[in-house]
Structure 1
Amino acid sequence: MAAIFFLTLATVFIQAPCDAHPVLKSDDVIGNFSYKSLTKVPPNLSPNTTILDLSHNNIKKLDATDFGYLLDLKVLILSHNQITELVSKVFSSNFYLEYLDLSNNRLENISCTFPSRLRHLDISSNNFTSLSFCRGFANLLGLEYLGLGAANILKLDLESVSHLPLQQVFIDLKGLYKYENSSLLVLNTNRLHLSTISDHKDIFSVLFDAVNTTKFLELSNFGKWERGKHYDDYVSTIVSNSQLTHLTLRNLGVPWIDFIRILQKLWQSSLESLHVHNFTVQDVILKAPFDYTNTSMKELLFDHVAVEVFLFSQKDLYRLFSEMNIKNLTITNSNLLYMLCPSKPSTLEHIDFSNNALTDDIFQNCLTLTKLKTLKLSVNKLQSLSQVSLMTERMTSLQYLDVSQNPLNYAGKDCRWSPIIGRLNMESCSLSSSVFQCLPKNIKTVNLRRNDISNVPLDTTNLTNLEDLDLGYNRLSDLPDCTLFPSLTTINVEYNQLPYPSPESLKNCSGLKQINIGNNPFHCYCGIKKFISEKSRSPGKFIGWPDDYVCERPDELKGVKLEDFYLPEMYCNVFIMVPIIVVPIIVGVFLIFALCKHFDVPWFVKMVWKWVRTKQRTRSSKNGYQELRRDFAFHAFISYSENDASWVKNILLPSIQSMKDIRICQHERNFTPGKSIVENIINCIDNSYKSIFVLSPHFVQSEWCHYELYFAHHKLYSENTDNLILILLEPIPQYLIPSRYFKLKALMKQRTYLEWPKEKSKHTLFWANLRAAISISLSESEQESSVSVPSESS
């Protein structure tokens, strides 16, 4: 709603001087009801309303109570309705009303009193017969803008406002019936604006008075002049008696020949500035002589020029303008294709050819524009940046060049600029990073907004005088290296792709007075903290802070202002993180290791792992077990040294035999008398599913134990069976094992053995592992022997 209102307000203000505008504040309460087909003022408006727009509706009548409760009302727009009358007290309560627009209604008379603070009053384009109501404006001493219009304009009516120091007076002459000579001369105004679409007999009398009323005159909607009518006498009379210095013409159509004649008379008058808007050139364009001498003209502006003919000499048209001995020449929005270089040294200092169709050929090799200081060529069809630079090379006074919104490109060719050019505008030209190789070496201000620049090349070394660099709306991922521009004081990189400025770039740009990095997709992690810290040390340096500096990532912080972003220092500082996080972790690991060592956890883990693996092997060999039930008589054969017999008989055997259905082969009870010891050893090993060897330092000293281990080891490889169980009763250092027992050394290195734990708490797991290793169902026909004869295989 506010945007629509400001657009409407801008249209209303187009004719008003700047000092007549209401001062809009951020706390103004706006009511926009334009284009709502209203037939009356809407009730129950906010009593705090300060700006109210009711334009372009069908309101016919205003009641005294419509605005009585709007005590803070400052701006009221009622234009383009059907209001016929203003009652006496309609604005009696609006003491702060400053801006009132009642134009384009059906008012015939005014009986109300306007608030004394009124600065802007427009009652033009109504149905007034005369301006007699102006006598009620005598108390409006603060009035700056006054819009009028009536069928009869009389001197007496305007004398009632002659004492008011008006900044601008607008008079709508549409429907003019009678004009009394010298009526306009009584006005005390800085600017006079007349509008008409009629060819009234008194129109030249009005113009004659207008050019003597003020120095700033604007004429609009005077229609098209017919060819053949001789206006020379009227124009000559008006111009010769004029005190005008500034003339603005709007919506005017004149035959080419008449235009040349009028321009010639204006050229040699007191006029200093001529602005022509929406101008149509009629009839054929022919070459016509023009005298440029004896002129006060300094500025000529043509905006929105249309030519009704298509076949004419372009040079005849361009030559008229190129030879003008003035300072300022503006031709905009006119489809200008080309412009000739002046034939002799020109006085032109400022040229504006924006919004046309000019190409790279303009002013090439031109030697006569040596006084030109400003050249604006925005929104044209320039393509080569090198050609643009060559165009300026001989413009030895050129200081500012605007080539924005042109499809420029740089192909790496030589660039030769005006020697003193200091300001360059190349906004919206689709230029890449290579443009920095073509900038003037003495440039001080460069506008490169809305291009395709991703970085500033590090070999850019010639821009030592650059002070102001605008790189907004590009593709930069970091600040440029400010050391490339030793004189840089201001830089703008808003709306780029900067997650956060790197510490190096911030350090390099620390000498800047102003920097704008706002509206970038900031990543609110540790890297952004350096930037925030830099901002806190340089208050006022960052433009747009804090509103334009908002987190984009992570998602949970999106929309958070950087000034509200907080991340504990420990997350970003490794020297803080180590003692706070890493040290406790290390202490915890050592503590866990110490506890495991104290409670012998590794032993338990290792034994459980052995038990699991044994169970897996047993299940995976189920078919082989069925065969073992028929072939083996014993679950295990036990081999041990006689020195360890006490442990075997008192601890190992009772514990094994307490297990259900476990049969053990023991040399003391199961060797067959009459057979040799070796034969008995072989038979016992062959008839046993497993061979258990109780290892200790005594075991390695026994020769027969070594035989038993040898045969069991041979069976391991010959039958590819997992038949060995090693129980380490006591630790055996490797150096104690004789070298001839290399098989024992190899087995202890290759195979996992069970260690007999000294702690009773570990015995249960030991027996579980042993049972899992030897548990198998044997044939029912086999008989368990119970005879035990103590002896040693020695």
Structure 2
Amino acid sequence: MWFPKSLPCDVINDEESATVIVDCSDRRLIKIPPGIPSNVTNLTLTINHIPEILPESFAHLKDLIELDFRCNCVPIMLGPKDRVCTNRLFIKDGSFSSMNNLRSLYLDGNQLLKIPKGLPVNLVLLSLEANTIFSLYKENFTGISNIEMLYLGQNCYYRNPCNVSFHVEKDAFEDLLNLTILSIKSNNLSYVPEGLSSTLRELYLYNNRIEYIHEYDLKNMYNLEILDLSGNCPRCYNSPFPCIPCENGAPINIHPNAFATLKNLRILRLHSNSLRNVSSAWFKNTRNLQILDLSQNFLASEIRCAGFLTLLPKLKELDFSFNFELQSLHTALIGQACLLIQTQVGPFPTKTSNWDICKQGLEIKEDTFSGLLKLKELYIDHNYLCKIPTGIPSSLKILSLQENNIFSISNESFFRLTQLEELYLGNNCYYGNKCNKSFEIQDGAFAGLQQLTVLHLNSNNLTKVPSKLPLSLEVLYLNNNKIQVISRHDFKNLVNLTVLYLSGNCPRCYNAAYPCEPCAGQSSLKIHQHAFKDLINLRELSLCNTSLKSIPSKWFENTTRLQILHLERNYLVEEMKSAEFLLKLPLLEILDLSFNYELQSYPKYVNISNTFSSLTSLKELHLQGYVFQDITSYNLDPITKLHNLNVIDLGVNFITQVEFTLFQKVPNLTVIYLAENKISPFSENVNKSKCLELSSKGGERKLNKFDVTSKLNIEMVQKFLPAGKPQCVSSGKTLDLSLNSIFYIDPENFRSFGDITCLNLSTNDIGQNLNGTEFIYLGNLTYLDLSFNKLDFDSFNAFQEIPKLEVLDLSYNKHYFVVESVTHHLKFIENLHNIKVLNLSWNEISTLTECEIKSRSLKELRFAGNRLDILWKNGDKRYVNIFKHFRNLNILDISHNRLYALTGEVINSMPEKLTELHVNNNRITFIDWKGLMHFKNLKLLDLRYNRITMIMTNVASYAYSLKKLILNSNKISSLPPAFLHQASNLTYLDLSYNNFQSLNKSIFLSGNENYLHVLKLNGNPFDCRCEISDFIMWINENNVTIPRLATDVLCATPNDKKGTGIIYFDLHACSLDSTCMLIFFFTFCLVILSTALPIMKHIFYWDMWYICNWFAAQFKRSKISTSKTLFDAYISYDTKDEAVSDWVFNELCHHLEGNGEEHVLCLEERDWEPGKAVIDNIILSIDTSRKTLFVLTKKYVKSGKFKTAFYLALQKLMDENMDVIIIVLLQPVLQNSQYLRLRRKICKSSILEWPKNPHAEDFFWHRAQSSILEK
């Protein structure tokens, strides 16, 4: 499938679905781009700035099925503020009429004032949302009766404001007999349109200003299934958007019989209509209603009885959320009703201080929902509801009563809800929904819910666990309550429970991130030792933030399948000393004990029990925020028995000393996270006074106002996320000691730590001189990160003790490199025999002790952010060969080194096996391109962000293997001819953001010799004159991808073309220059001849006269001698037509052969040889006649005889190169013949028409005689 390079779109040809998708989204287009494939089926032109659509815009796209033309002039408040559209889209009438296959048309967000005329008759979907259409008329939909989906919303609302009411003509939709979906939402519409089609299935009228739904507004809509009237006369209290209620806060007025004909209605949404009552008459015929949304109204009184619900036997989902009454006088009765409800509950005391809350709330009468036998989902959130509605049908599966004032639940609350699966009762009493009493749940309140799987009771001021919870329960949330005691029978028989959250009960409030109330005396949550006895299938348990001080092992006797245990933010330091409970958790995989530190305590050691060793399935152990000084193998010995442990997290503990041998005893440990501590070195061989500056001088140290959680990302509390580099963690077993106080590396700290493969020591202020003994015990180390330190490179032996080291990161260690007269050795690299990646970036290296460094293993060297400009300064040859002896180096990065030139000497000193050379972000103005011949396998050369002004040679001829050349953001203005000749491997060339004004096609290869795949040219100031035409022709003729060619590769000059794509340059205009030159040549010759000929005539007149006459005589004699003609003309006519024959004999022959004329005519009836074939007679007659005269009539031009004679006469014309045909038109025939038109232009005298005026016949015969005599 071919399309022009100028097409600024993405083209996808999906052969399986037989669709061709052209996506021109967000290309800053100001017109419809030419060159769109004619077989496109889906065209997207959204988010552009195209100002108009004309009939010829899409006329050639006969296969187009979907056209998306949204957001080409978005309304001011909806659109971007940096480019406000003020000129609305113009659509000429009939612009889409020729698109017979178009099914979907999207014209949203274009500020259209009206619906375009002449839409395709087969259109199925039409979307005109977010425009400025304020009126609809019947004529708007003329000719599009097949429309099924019509979207006309958001033409007038707070983000697209208007000062008029939306008008819909009566019966405007009457002719849309196939319409099934109609959306007129957010339109400032004040009434329901009349004459809606009976075929409608979905009608959306929400967020308008409709105050009345009359009796006949929805008449005859028997097929309507979804009706949304939400947001008309809205309830504006706490509205998140600008809201205008009806006058005096009045509700929408719906006639009792408004829904009488909606027998098939399934979904009705009356959300935020300020309704204060619901008429039962509305639903007398809507027996099939399944979903009813009455949320955000004022139905606190109405819902009390909700008698209308008895008329909805098939209702499955009901939403009464946000229907509480605002404080007013008329709500006093509701308050009294709630008081009665509270007092009738039974033994549950109700404080009078809560009565005022109920006055605002919702009261639901008993058995209000009892008739809804098929109800599955019921939502009554945020209603200040004071009790659980009774009489809810047993069919209910989901019940949500969150954000209410339900403080008590009785045995009868869910008595009939035997099929309930999910119950949400959270947030009924917490700091964001305050109350002055405890949440009371009667014993066995949930016992009858035998199919309940999810129960949310979080944030309820609940003081105890509900008793007799259903056995089917799988997920139970009791977090953030005021439960102080978990009794023996609270979770009795919950054998199916898999997730249990008890966090936030008796919380640890020190440094809490929310308003927090601890239990009396800061006591912990008291859990009976057999509370979890029946939770045999428990997988996840959260006891975090419950101020626990101990954990009895009895809790977990039967929870042997527990996999995740959250115990963070408690007081379990002492408990960890015994932790007998861990013996009961053989399948535990994740244990989080973070932030259990004791206040004002800074112990010497962590003290954990040997029972930790029983966690044979443990994979992750999180011990952040324990806060202790030293890690020793004795204190953490239990974890050495955890053979499946992969991650140990000891971050943010303010640890100062670590005995690393401990971690070597854990066989499958992959990540040891010790970051964000205060670890400092310790060894018997080191001055202890120096190493223990941050250590405690006693067994424990008191800390005043110790704040640890402020240093922790809250997400890390929930899940361990390594702070190190992903490459480090992925390399194998990892030890992360970053962000500590390790100013000195002691090898003894890593003794017997020989199996780690990655060590992260970044950001530690290490300032020692590495002598090759620091990592002597890390024999398997492959990745070492020492970035952001203060290392002193003074020894040849640094890192030589790590034979397997492959990746070494020494970046950001500039401290000593910027100090003058200090020894800077990099000779240690020669001792790293397996090193593959070395990062020395951002060290500002400007001097080295060694001038040459050797390595046979190094593959990648990052040397960015240093001072090679000083090392390679003019006249100083010492460091030219600094990289030369890295024999196997593939990648070299010397970016950000302030280099001004790459001389041949420098290039030749680089490793010849380089595949990638990064010299970007320097100040290079000169490159010795011939030096690139030094590289045999160079694939990528990055020279962006330099100051190169010109390239004078064919780069590819010197770097034949080059595949990717990046030259963007330089100052290059020209390239030499044949720049890419012989560049058979170069596939990617970036010339963007340079100073190119034109490019010659000779620079590039063409046809089969062109191997370039991607060419970037954006950001260049192209001069769009004729000099660029060759390059544009090259673009069109070659299959090279130029990203954003039509939109970002732009003309800078001349001014009249500034900002237009170069691909749109008119090549024809340049071809006219050649024409002008040719005209000039001919006119010049004409002037010379007209001047010279008179002079020559005056001087050589008689000589020229003699020569011309002599040649003319010779030519005439030759012609006469070779002539074989017997007749002057052969007359071809219709012999079967008596009138024509009569005219030929009595008129033609009379005037051409008679009257003294000497013409000899050949006639079929007179001069043909009898018995001879007709074709032979025709051939003979034409050959022996000087010309052939055709007498044409309407009947004769259709005969085969005429066609045969005409073709033979044409053959003679071609043979003799002379015009031998004369045409006489007795009747007006062949009026549209291109041949006759051409003859009239070239040989006007050879076509004769029999005149209608008898007085003109003499002139006709005169012309006929002249035509026959003409030579």
Structure with more contact order per residue of length (Cα contacts < 8 Å, sep ≥ 6): 1
Q: TM-score, normalised by structure 2?
A: 0.32
Looking at secondary structure, tell me which structure has more helix per residue.
1
Which is greater in Rg?
Answer: 1
